[in-house]
Structure 1
Amino acid sequence: MTADHSSWTFLTHHARVLVEIAKDPGIRLRDIAVGIGITERAVQGIVRDLYQAGYLTRDRVGRRNHYSLNLEQHFRYPTEAGMPVRLLIDLFAEHDLPDGDTQ
């Protein structure tokens, strides 16, 4: 980002992490951190938040985690609460996701 531009963005880190997981359900947390420019510890906290709120599940596959998204879970903010997160993922993920609840 250059000095001419403000540092704010439209998407939160939570949204960015969700999109990265949608693109690659087997992605490592350190790769998410590098990709979106935050610490691995911050990504761990965000994944914990998303897990506790029901936006994702995680399964251990060997030494790594594999994530599944609940795309029908609704946004949390009142003005968007009637819309599923699938809308965000469909907009920002670079591939089509299945019609089911999880990836």
Structure 2
Amino acid sequence: MGTPPAPGDGKAWTFLTNHARVLIRIARSPDIRMRDIADAVGITERAAQLIVADLEEAGYLTRSRVGRRNTYTITPGRPFRHPAEADHDIHALIALFTRAEAENDPSDVDAGV
């Protein structure tokens, strides 16, 4: 999805937290399995479970059981947690990272959001 960043000073840091990556992954696929979230984000399945629990506890998503699987619904009106960004809601972040998919498959963009 785009060009990888150019090598910098060798320090390992990124602009998005794993919480943001998990939220975006769930927005892209509301019925995604925990194993698939972990693989996509590059974390353990246990770490993915803890992050999903954090997001659910904070009201950023809800989990519903459908048969043997979980389905997630994002609450897009929730604000960012840091005071510097608290005047923005997460919908813009999700839209930014699902826009490319929308151009390829408009029926899949707002699934779960």
> When the two structures are superposed, what TM-score results if normalisation uses the length of structure 1?
0.88
Confirm whether residue 7 of structure 1 aligns to residue 6 of structure 2: no
Kindly state the Cα deviation for residue 80 of structure 1 after the two structures are TM-superposed. 0.4
Q: Which of the pair has more CA radius of gyration?
A: 2
Q: RMSD of the alignment, in Å?
A: 1.6
Q: Which runs of 5+ in 2 are unaligned?
A: 1-6, 103-108
| 1:66 counterpart residue number | 71
Distance between the aligned counterparts of 1:24 and 1:61, measured in 2? 14
The secondary structure found in structure 2 opposite 1:67 is strand
Kindly state the Cα deviation for residue 7 of structure 1 after the two structures are TM-superposed. 1.6
Which one has a larger percent helix, Structure 1 or Structure 2? 2
> When the two structures are superposed, what TM-score results if normalisation uses the length of structure 2?
0.81
| 1:42 counterpart residue number | 47
Moved over 3 A (4+): none
Kindly state the Cα deviation for residue 64 of structure 1 after the two structures are TM-superposed. 0.4
Instruction: In structure 2, give the amino acid aligned to 1:80.
Output: E
| 1:92 counterpart residue number | 97
Give the length in aligned residue pairs.
98
| 1:17 counterpart residue number | 22
Q: Which runs of 5+ in 1 are unaligned?
A: none
Kindly state the Cα deviation for residue 67 of structure 1 after the two structures are TM-superposed. 0.1
Distance between the aligned counterparts of 1:28 and 1:5, measured in 2? 33
